[in-house]
Amino acid sequence: MEHMEYQPMDDQMDERVIEIARVSKVVKGGRRFRYRVTVVVGDNKGTIGLGIGKANAVPDAMKKASDRARKNMQKVNLYKTTIPHEVLGQVSGARVLLRPASEGTGVISAGGVRAVLEVAGVHDILTKSLGSANMLNVVMATFDALHQLKDAREEAILRGKNADELLPYWDRRQHA
């Protein structure tokens, strides 16, 4: 039986390849082809990172993208299994609407948006992709939306309100 090596906890990240695209550059002799790989990495607890890697071969591009995603890790505000409030992220022509959902709803999303939300640790959410269907811009718009999220408790202090007033409506009923 083979001995399993020890893996530190910070290395156990959920990594998803979102897109592998062949891109070209026109030069004097014709076209030069390379590969662009988009990878998203997360710990399923609210920390996510996006990495884009380009190389002449797919494995090299994947390695670059993965390394960049791990370097660009950022924390996002979540509320239980969803997000604290509705938000609209925008990058170029791509817009992504994220809406909180009650427990048991699941991730109602597709493609790159689903991958980003799953690695972030969101289990219940409603999404809608508006505008451009460019995968890279849609994923970046999702990141933009997630970074706009505010913590309900901190926002309540700033507004001078009770924290329970800023919770999603299905949780307000339980706390009342």
Compare 7 and 113 and report the one with higher pLDDT.
Answer: 113
Non-local (6+) Cβ contacts of 77 within 8 A are 46, 83, 84, 149, 150, 151
Contact predicate 24/32, CB 8 Å: yes
For the segment 82-123, what is each residue's pLDDT rounded down to a tens digit? 998 899 999 999 999 999 998 899 999 988 999 999 999 999
Domain 87-173 class in CATH: alpha beta
Give the pLDDT score at 159: 82
For residue 4, name the pLDDT band (cuts at 50, 70, 90).
Answer: low
Total-model pTM: 0.87
Domain 14-75: CATH class, spelled out: alpha beta
* Domain range annotation of the chain: 14-75, 87-173
Mean pLDDT, residues 56-75 taken together: 95
